[in-house]
Structure 1
Amino acid sequence: MTTTAAPPQPARRSSSKFNALWRMRVYLRPYYGVTAWSMVAAVLSTAASIAIPLLIQHVIDGPVRHGDTGGLFLLGGLAILLGVCESALSFVRRWAQSASSAGMEARLREDLYAHLQRLPIEFHDRWQSGQLLSRATADLSSIRRFLSFGLFFFVLNLATYIAVSALLIHLYWPLGLFVTLSAIPLFLIVRRFTARYFAASRELQDAIGDLTTRVEEAAQGIRVIRAFGRRDHMSEHFAGGARHVHDLGVGKTRMVARTLSQFDLVPNVTLAVVLVAGAVQVAHGRLTVGTLVAFVALQVMLVWPIDILGWIIANAQEAMSASVRIYEVLDTPPSIVDRPGAVSLSTVEGRLRFAGVHFGYEPGRPILRGIDLEVQPGETVAIVGLTGSGKTTLVSLVPRLYDVDAGAITIDGHDVRDLTLDSLRRIVGTAFEDPTLFSMSVRENLTLGRTGATDAEIAEALEIAQAGFAYDLPWGLDTRIGEQGLSLSGGQRQRLALARAVVGRPRILVLDDPLSALDVHTEALVESALSTVLAGTTALLVVHRPSTIALADRVAFLDGGRLAAIGTHSQLLATCPGYREVLRGA
């Protein structure tokens, strides 16, 4: 896991925060119908609420003024009916909004997760996992809130503001025009607020991603922290990050609070002016009491759209920042993909060849230089070398965890880049030195190697890996082993990972020092069982212990990223001083 302070900024198509958010509309398309019904319900509900002040005007200037109790009851009943309609329509609107927002967020999260699975290992090597987690959780929630609620209410409130302003001008144009022009200071406040808030939102979201990384690292490394007695140190380290997030959050909230107070001030001052000026006009007979009451009631309806405008703008800025962060991932193209015309092999003989292979993780810093190696079908070749010589890198190229910079790797004469990834990784089984197990049952972990494996095949793989302990777990193979398999010992995890690699009986087997965590007795049992499997399988075996080399037909000795020698164990002992030196230090 990387520990860099911030993730790299990959090239992306989204040229601006507005463009990034605009591109998110694709996730709303399947819900346009539901959104339309929600908008219709909202418009009708708003129309009903607008009609009530106008109804009050007629009540005051009609039945109340003339003492007509019959007309008063009729208008009161109509007001109740409008209230019931508004309530029912609000229910429909909220239900439709929730359905569309939940569906949109689910689709976006699925696409993001699927894209992360397609991205190459080198991408995950560079990015903090916490930054990816925050994008898949908090950022998606910000986008959902805006696209499903913020954007919806922005359109609705804008329509409400225009409709109410038109009615106010119709009721009494001097005051109506005054209320309408009060939008000018609001526009100036918004303009000053948006640029600063976007930067603050992005900084806070990045800080949350860093803090998420610290939490994840502490959870995964809890045994190391306890073993070294560094709990207080790590707590202080986390507290520093938490304080930074706190300070950024408080600063952002202060910015919002200051802006919202300005939003509140404008309509309140406007309302005070209207009340005073309107009362004067009533006193001079230019306005009726009913008209003034309706005018004030309609103006009060504008207070909530103005108040919520601050929240909508803040939410929009957060959604824009989140969209940019999401597209930093989605716009990163997968570099290891199926080539046009890639083929799927059903039967494989198993001849593996490295032809002039060059590879480096960074330009200008090669790890492997001109590797030429041919492995015959059914042959096992041990890869030996000092730490940093390129052993793990070499075997990682076979299943295309990385692609070669130059040269080619072929299986039965087919360049691995010309095979479909599904076909290639069905042919090649892999077990790594650092075994990764998932928070699922033993059976599910094992069948990641072959989803259709039968109980007999699973049992055979467990026997080969000397992992029969799995049957003794509380629920046998259905026992959930916990995150990262930390409920098991290192040797148990490694044996399960080995069983997963061999369960599908792949034609080519890549084992990256899979026995390093085993005791000598268990290692001997596993090697004995593996010898049977390897007899009919082409295998590359990264080894450090001399005893494991006995499984190999030949040994390839890497030195500084080059293939320094190849031959049997006895031949290299006799002719290669570097090989003898490596074994002496093993």
Structure 2
Amino acid sequence: MNKKTIGRVVKYLKPYIPLIIISLMAAAATTLLSLYVPILAGKAIDLIIAPGIVDLDGISKILIRMIMVILLAALFQWIMNVINNHITYRVVKDIRKKAFDHIQSLPLSYLDTKQYGDFVSRIIADIDQFSDGLLMGFSQFFTGLVMIIGTLCFMFTLNITITLVVVLLTPLSLFVAAFIAKKTYNLFVKQSEKRALLTGMVEEMVGNEKVVQAFSYEDDAIERFDKINDELADVSLKATFFSSLINPSTRFINNLVYAAVGIVGAVFVLKGRITVGQLTCFLSYANQYTKPFNEISGVVTELQNALACAGRVFELIDEEPETPDKENAVVLKDVKGSVMLKDVNFSYVPDKKLIQNLNLLVKPGMRVAIVGPTGCGKSTVINLLMRFYDVNSGSIQVEGNDVRDITRKSLRDNYGMVLQETWLKAASIKENIAYGREATDEEIIAAAKATHAHSFIKRLPNGYDTVLGEDGGSLSQGQKQLLCITRVMLSVPPMLILDEATSSIDTRTELRVQRAFAKLMAGRTSFIVAHRLSTIMEADMILVMKDGNIIEQGNHESLMKLGGFYSDLFNSQYKNV
């Protein structure tokens, strides 16, 4: 087992130590009462002296006492189970919350390199597996330990010699269980990793099923799925096979213990050193003593799986978070919209250069369009402006402050952003529009009218109260994009970023939205990324990018007169119009 992972689990258990102590006391009470039952049974047997010579009154009293003891043991066991459930699910809730909260603090540079299905697998499937193992650990592991210790104590009071026989044979069972457990841990780690791959692959295929079918990728998707599924089945089978050896192995040794107790005890009865009732009591104790070893061996298997899953979750929690804001970080207020990029260099991969020596001065209220071929760095500039990524060298300044000296929240609060990729949560239209701020119904409707989304919203079954499915449900891509634009229209930030914001909207609606944007952009600094050059002809400044550099700069008229790259790009779009 991974000692580091166990140590981490113990830390999460610390706040619940008082409950753990109560659970252990309840387990001890349950065990002691259960162990008292064989003593009563032995006494009852000894009252059957010979045929026709039976002390019925004495047996009746013992039976009444046995019923009371059994009922009391059941009560303590119920209390123990309630407490164990409470501790387990509280700990699981704490770990899941910690993991999800940590994801919110991770840098995009990390998130962009991982499959989203891997995060889902760790936070849902892995933590559920850990929960099952932890609950079994509480329910059977602690109870088993108390049962073993308690049984030994009771057995020593009856006969030391027979008890020593049991104690000497016990280490064999522990050795076998520990030996096999070491072999299974790595297999359970691989099982969790393969499960995460399968989750990611299913999420990828189901989320993009239209593309899969459009390109007839179904057979390849099935082949990929079968490959990962076979690998998961193979490693799961191996993990299950080796872990399943623990229980029969320990049972075999425990049966040897039971047989040894029976043989030695029978000899002692013949010699008159113990009574038949005491032998019956001893055999019952031998069975109760070995039973926890069988249970613990099963628990060890589950704990191997649980710790492997917990280790993956802790790996996520241990990932380096986003660089925190500086202690004296500036909180932006009364932003006018002055932005400057000075000698900016940036690349996603160190050995693959992207943006080099980028310089730009944007005055308040300017509309800056960024155009260029795919992969030239347009969206990367947006990522840097929002500080989703930090520059490798140089600086980006807003209102004269380096963005690294500004709190991320205040920086991003002053930007309104509409991306080509839409995102809507599973909630009502109204809640999606007001995602960034609290707003009245009148404000929401006014924003929707401004973006011409009001008409299609009113045609929905419940209007603004229509609940959308995941990522917009059955809405068209254009309708989803209109809602995202409305969301920004409602927040009215001092600076705007529009990254292909109207790419999925029909031409007629686009013209209307452009007029709405024109009103919204009036007096506000705006950065517009566009492939359709007709949407940026009114921009105050157009930056033409290629291979991470600004190769041309000016307004539409000046760039057309220049007859360079922009002119060629514009003419290529409209030469057949």
After TM superposition, the score normalised by the length of structure 1 is 0.93
User: Residues 410, 290 of structure 1: CA spacing in aligned structure 2 closer, same or farther, 3 A cutoff?
Assistant: same
- Any idea what the Cα deviations from partners look like across 1:225-280, whole Å, max 9, x if unmatched? 23234334423332332222222222222112222110111111221222223222
1:256 aligned to which of 238, 243, 266: 243
Match of 1:295 in 2: 282
Change (3 A) 1:416 1:64: farther
Counting aligned pairs with the same residue, the percent is 29
Match of 1:467 among 437, 453, 462: 453
Task: Specify whether residues 391 and 530 from structure 1 end up closer, same or farther in structure 2 by C-alpha distance, changes over 3 A only.
Answer: same
2:434 maps to: 447
The residue aligned with 1:33 is 18
C-alpha contact 1:101 1:148 (8 A) present in aligned 2: yes
**101-110 or 374-383, which moves further after superposition?**
101-110
Aligned residue runs from structure 1 range 301-316, under 5 A: 301-316=288-303
Q: Does 1:352 align with 2:339?
A: yes
Q: Please tell me the residue identity of whatever aligns with 1:573.
A: M
Describe the SS at the equivalent of 2:395.
Answer: strand
Q: Does the 8 Å CA contact 2:126/2:313 hold for their aligned counterparts?
A: yes
Tell me how far apart the structure 1 counterparts of residues 121 and 170 of structure 2 sit (CA, whole Å): 37
Structure 2 Cα separation of the partners of residues 361 and 502 of structure 1: 32
Kept after mapping to 2: 8 A contact 1:357/1:372: yes
Q: 1:333 aligns with which of 320, 329, 340?
A: 320
The equivalent residue for 2:37 is: 52
The reply on whether 1:521 has 2:543 as its aligned counterpart is no
Q: What residue identity is the alignment partner of 2:31?
A: T
Assess, with a 3 A threshold, how the Cα gap between structure 1 residues 294 and 571 changes in structure 2: closer, same or farther: same
Counterpart residue number, 1:183: 170
SS at the partner of 1:302?
helix
Moved more, 25-34 or 293-302: 25-34
**Equivalent residue number for residue 485 of structure 2:** 498
Which one-letter code corresponds to 1:462 in the other structure?
Answer: A
Structure 1 CA distance, aligned partners of 2:173 and 2:572? 75
Deviations 1:45-81 (A, max 9, x none): 1110011112222323357577332222221111111
1:312-461 mapped onto 2 (5 Å cutoff):
312-448=299-435, 450-461=436-447
Aligned to 1:10: none
Do structure 1's residue 81 and structure 2's residue 57 form an aligned pair? Answer: no
Question: Normalised by the size of structure 2, how large is the TM-score?
Answer: 0.94
Instruction: Tell me if structure 1 keeps the 8 A contact 2:344–2:393.
Output: yes
Measured after TM superposition, the shift of residue 462 of structure 1 is 1.9
How many Å apart are 1:516 and its aligned residue? 1.2
Q: Post-superposition shift, 1:486?
A: 4.2
- Does the CA contact (< 8 Å) of 2:368 and 2:541 recur in 1? yes
Match of 2:8 in 1: 23
Separation of aligned partners in 1, 2:172 and 2:563: 83
Runs of at least 4 residues off by over 6 Å: none
CA contact (8 A) 2:173 2:254 kept: no
**SS at 2:389 equivalent:** coil
Does the 8 Å CA contact 2:84/2:138 hold for their aligned counterparts? Answer: no
* Letter matched to residue 491 of structure 1: G
**SS where residue 297 of structure 2 aligns?**
helix
Other structure's SS at 2:491 match: coil
Task: Pick closer, same or farther for the CA change 1:363–1:228 going to 2, 3 Å.
Answer: closer
| Residue in structure 1 matched with residue 264 of structure 2 by the alignment | 277
- CA separation in 1, counterparts of 2:513 and 2:138? 61
Is 1:112 aligned to 2:99, yes or no?
Answer: yes
Contact 1:429 1:508 survives alignment (8 Å): yes
Q: CA deviation digits over 1:207-236, x for unaligned, max 9?
A: 100110111112211111232343344233
Would you say how many aligned residue pairs link Structure 1 and Structure 2? 570
SS at match of 1:74: helix
Unmatched tracts of structure 1, length 5 or more: 1-15
Specify the code of the residue in structure 2 equivalent to 1:174.
Answer: T
Partner of 1:6: none
Q: 1:98 and 1:191, CA in 2 relative to 1: closer, same or farther beyond 3 A?
A: closer
* Cα deviation 1:133-166 (Å, max 9, x = unaligned): 1110121123223334315632332232122123
How big is each residue's C-alpha offset from its partner over 1:179-213, in whole Å with a ceiling of 9 and x where there is no partner?
11222212221232122111110011001001101
1:511 aligns with 2:495: no
Distance 1:527 1:552 in 2: 12
2:109 to 122, 127, 147: 122
Q: Over residues 393-424 of structure 1, what are the superposed CA-to-partner deviations in whole Å (9 max), with x where a residue is unaligned?
A: 00111121111111221211122222222212
Shift of 1:534: 0.7
